[in-house]
C-alpha cells in the first residue's frame, strides 16, 4: 500500500520533471548540453525617405512568427519617429509616425533570428478555397490544358504535381507550349504568378511566398518570390526555379500573398532593402531571450531572473541534491558508513574549489592533526561543549597555519584550505575520536575513509559539467532526484556490504547438521 503510494508519487514526479524539461528543451530551445553556441542572424530592413516637412506615416507589413527561424528580438530604430506594431499573425504591421519630418530620414526594422530546431513549421491550415479555372484565352488555354494533362500523367499528388509543373516550366529546351506561356513575362514575380495561374487550371490553390536569402554581409537585398501550394492540409513551399520543396536553411519567409510594400504618406521612398549579418552567441542567452519573447512563465520565474551573484550561488546549491543522492546510494545500496549523513557532500563542495588531490591531502592533514590534539584533550577531562569549542579553535588554527606555510613555500593551491567547512571538520574530528575510543581504531578509520570515499564520489558527480548545467538550466530534473530518493526510501533489498556482514551465513550455514 505504502509502496504503491510511493511508486505512484515517484512516477508522477518523474513525469512532471521530464515533461517540463522536454518543454523547455524542445519549445523554448534551452540547450541540454553546456557550451554550445547558436548562429544568430541580424536582419535589418532599411527604408530611406525624403520627407517634405509635414506629418509622415509609414506603414509596412511585418513577418509573422512562422519564418523558418526562431525570432529572438525585434526593434524599430528611427530617430524622429515613434513606432508601434499592430495586428497579429499574418496581419502584423509596423506603423511609424512623425508629426514633422524634413529631408532624408532612415527607418530600420531590425530582426534577430536563430535557426530553430524545427525549421518552417508545417502548420495545418484549412483549404483556402479552390480557385476558379481562369479564362486563359487562346491559344494559351490549349497550351495550359496540354501541359497540365502531361504533368498529371506523371504525378501522384498535389506536391509532386506542382514540382513536376515547375520543372517542366523551367526546362531550357521546353516545348512550344511552355515557351508560349513564358512569353512576355519578364521578372521572377511574373513567373511565379504565371505558375499560380497555370495551377489554377487544375484548381490547385497556390500563392506567392516572399522570401529572403540570408547572406553574411548582405546589403540592399530584395525579397524573392517563391511558390506555395496548398495540399489540402498545409502550405508547401516550392523553389520556383528548381522545384525543390521546403525552405532552405538560410532562407527566411517574410510573408505571403501581395508584395509587402511600404506605404508612405507625406514622404517619398528613396530606397528600401534588406541587410543581414551573422554572429555566434551563447545558446543560453539566445534561448532565454527567445523564451522571454514567448512570455514563458517558466523562464520569467526561473533562476535566470535572479541577480547574477545569486545565480552563481544556485549553480552550486543545486548540485547538493546530486551529492545527497550519492550519499543515499552509498549508504543504503552499498552500505558504507560515514561520519554525519551529509558531511561528505559538504566536503565534496569544498573539493570543487580546492581540486581533488589537494583537497584530499588537506582534508587528511587537518583531520589527522585535529585528532592528535583531540586525543591530548581527552586526557584533560574537558566538558563536552567547551571541548567541542576547543577542537573547533584548533581546527581553525590548523587551517590558518597550513595556509600561511603553503603560501610562504609558494604552494598557493593549499590556500584554498580556507574553503573547508570548519565546523563540519571539527565535528568529524570529535566523532572520529569518540568512535576511536569506544569501538577502536579500525572502526574509526573505516568510517573516516568511508566518509572520504563518499565525498570523492559526490565530488566526481557534482563536478560533471553536464550535471551542473542540467541542474541549473533544468532544476525540475531535481524532481527525478527526489523520485529516486523516495523510491530508495522504501527499498528493502540487501546492502552490498551485507554480503560481508553475513559472510558467515553464506560460508558456513550449509554445513549445519
Partner 1 sequence: MNPFRRLRELGLVGMNRRNAAYILEHNPRRRYPLVDDKLLTKRLAEAAGIAVPKLLGVITSIRQLDALETMLDGREDFVIKPTKGSGGNGIVVVTSRLGEHWRRASGLPFSRDELSYHVANILSGMHSLGGLPDRVMVEQRVRFDARFDAVSYRGVPDIRTVVYRGVPVMAMMRLPTHASDGKANLHLGGVGVGIDIADGHTTTAIWRDRPIRLHPDTLSSVVDLQVPDWDRLLELAAHCQTLCGLGYLGVDLVLDQDHGPLVLELNARPGLSVQLANRSGLGPRLDAVDALPKIPHEACARAAIGREIASACVIEGRRAELPASISSG
Q: Which residues here bind partner 1, judged by CB under 8 A?
A: 2, 332, 335, 381, 383-385, 434, 438-439, 489-495, 498-499, 501-506, 508-510, 512-513
Give, to the nearest 10 degrees, the angle between helix 465-473 and helix 320-328.
120
**Closest Cα partner for 343 from 420, 440, 418?**
420
Q: For partner 1, which is the closer residue by CB, 328 or 418?
A: 328
Residue 509 beta carbon to partner 1: minimum distance, rounded to whole angstroms: 6
Residue 480 beta carbon to partner 1: minimum distance, rounded to whole angstroms: 21
Residue 385 beta carbon to partner 1: minimum distance, rounded to whole angstroms: 7
Residues across the chain: 513
Q: For partner 1, which is the closer residue by CB, 79 or 492?
A: 492
Residue 126 beta carbon to partner 1: minimum distance, rounded to whole angstroms: 58
Residue 320 beta carbon to partner 1: minimum distance, rounded to whole angstroms: 23
Q: For partner 1, which is the closer residue by CB, 88 or 512?
A: 512
Do 238 and 250 touch, CB atoms closer than 8 A?
A: no
Q: For partner 1, which is the closer residue by CB, 14 or 334?
A: 334
d(CA 230, CA 161): 12
Residue 396 beta carbon to partner 1: minimum distance, rounded to whole angstroms: 21
d(CA 471, CA 469): 6
Q: For partner 1, which is the closer residue by CB, 132 or 508?
A: 508
Name residues whose C-beta falls within 8 Å of residue 512's C-beta, 6 or more positions apart in sequence: none
Residue 505 beta carbon to partner 1: minimum distance, rounded to whole angstroms: 6
DSSP letters for 470-503: HHHH-GGGHHHHHHHHHHHHT--S--TTHHHHTH
Residue 434 beta carbon to partner 1: minimum distance, rounded to whole angstroms: 7
Dig out the grid coordinates for 269 from the structure.
Answer: 521612398
d(CA 251, CA 239): 11
Q: For partner 1, which is the closer residue by CB, 44 or 378?
A: 378
Q: For partner 1, which is the closer residue by CB, 466 or 496?
A: 496
Q: What is the dihedral of CA 406, 407, 413, 416, to 10 degrees?
A: 90
Q: For partner 1, which is the closer residue by CB, 270 or 505?
A: 505
Element housing 271 (H / E): strand 267-282
- DSSP symbol at 513: -
Angle at alpha carbon of residue 204, lines to 199 and 207, rounded to 5°: 75
Distances 50 to 308, 365, 389 between C-alpha atoms, Å: 46, 79, 82
Amino acid at each position: 500500500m505504502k509502496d504503491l503510494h510511493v511508486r505512484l508519487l515517484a512516477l508522477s514526479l518523474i513525469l512532471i520533471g521530464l515533461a517540463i524539461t522536454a518543454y523547455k528543451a524542445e519549445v523554448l530551445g534551452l540547450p541540454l548540453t553546456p557550451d554550445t553556441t547558436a548562429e544568430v542572424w541580424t536582419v535589418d530592413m532599411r527604408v530611406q525617405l525624403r520627407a517634405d516637412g509635414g506629418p509622415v506615416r509609414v506603414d509596412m507589413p511585418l513577418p509573422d512568427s512562422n519564418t523558418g527561424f526562431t525570432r529572438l528580438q525585434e526593434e524599430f530604430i528611427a530617430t524622429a519617429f515613434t513606432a508601434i506594431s499592430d495586428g497579429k499573425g499574418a496581419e502584423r504591421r509596423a506603423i511609424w509616425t512623425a508629426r514633422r519630418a524634413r529631408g532624408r530620414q532612415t527607418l530600420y526594422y531590425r530582426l534577430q533570428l536563430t535557426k530553430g530546431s524545427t525549421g518552417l513549421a508545417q502548420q495545418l491550415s484549412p483549404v483556402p478555397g479552390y480557385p476558379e479555372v481562369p479564362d486563359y484565352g487562346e491559344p494559351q488555354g490549349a497550351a495550359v490544358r496540354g501541359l497540365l494533362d502531361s504533368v498529371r500523367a506523371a504525378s501522384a499528388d498535389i506536391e509532386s504535381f506542382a514540382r513536376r509543373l515547375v520543372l517542366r516550366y523551367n526546362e531550357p529546351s521546353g516545348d512550344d507550349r511552355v515557351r508560349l506561356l513564358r512569353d512576355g513575362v519578364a521578372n521572377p514575380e511574373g513567373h511565379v504568378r504565371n505558375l499560380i495561374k497555370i495551377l489554377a487550371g487544375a484548381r490547385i490553390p497556390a500563392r506567392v511566398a516572399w522570401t529572403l536569402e540570408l547572406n553574411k554581409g548582405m546589403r540592399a537585398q530584395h525579397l524573392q518570390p517563391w511558390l506555395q501550394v496548398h495540399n489540402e492540409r498545409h502550405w508547401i513551399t516550392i523553389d520556383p526555379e528548381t522545384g525543390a520543396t521546403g525552405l532552405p536553411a538560410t532562407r527566411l519567409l517574410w510573408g505571403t500573398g501581395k508584395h509587402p510594400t511600404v506605404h508612405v504618406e507625406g514622404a517619398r521612398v528613396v530606397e528600401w532593402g534588406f541587410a543581414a549579418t551573422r554572429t555566434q552567441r551563447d545558446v543560453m542567452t539566445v534561448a532565454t531571450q527567445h523564451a522571454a519573447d514567448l512570455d514563458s512563465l517558466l523562464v520569467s520565474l526561473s533562476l535566470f531572473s535572479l541577480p547574477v551573484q545569486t545565480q552563481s550561488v544556485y549553480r552550486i546549491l543545486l548540485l547538493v541534491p546530486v551529492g545527497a543522492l550519492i550519499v543515499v546510494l552509498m549508504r543504503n545500496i552499498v552500505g558504507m558508513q560515514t561520519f554525519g549523513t551529509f558531511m561528505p557532500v559538504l566536503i565534496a563542495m569544498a573539493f570543487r574549489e580546492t581540486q581533488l588531490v589537494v583537497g584530499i591531502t588537506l582534508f587528511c592533514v587537518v583531520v589527522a592533526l585535529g585528532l592528535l590534539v583531540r586525543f591530548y584533550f581527552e586526557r584533560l577531562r574537558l566538558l563536552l561543549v567547551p571541548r567541542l569549542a576547543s577542537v573547533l579553535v584548533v581546527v581553525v588554527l590548523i587551517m590558518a597555519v597550513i595556509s600561511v606555510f603553503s603560501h610562504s613555500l609558494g604552494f598557493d593551491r593549499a590556500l584554498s584550505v580556507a574553503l573547508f567547512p570548519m565546523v563540519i571538520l571539527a565535528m568529524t574530528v570529535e566523532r572520529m575520536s569518540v568512535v576511536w575510543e569506544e569501538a577502536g581504531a579500525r572502526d574509526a578509520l573505516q568510517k573516516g575513509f568511508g566518509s572520504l570515499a563518499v565525498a570523492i564520489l559526490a565530488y566526481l558527480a557534482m563536478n560533471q559539467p553536464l550535471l551542473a548545467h542540467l541542474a541549473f538550466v533544468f532544476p525540475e530534473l531535481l524532481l527525478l532526484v527526489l523520485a529516486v530518493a523516495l523510491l530508495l526510501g522504501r527499498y528493502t533489498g540487501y546492502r552490498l556490504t551485507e554480503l560481508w556482514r553475513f559472510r558467515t551465513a553464506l560460508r558456513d550455514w550449509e554445513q549445519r547438521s
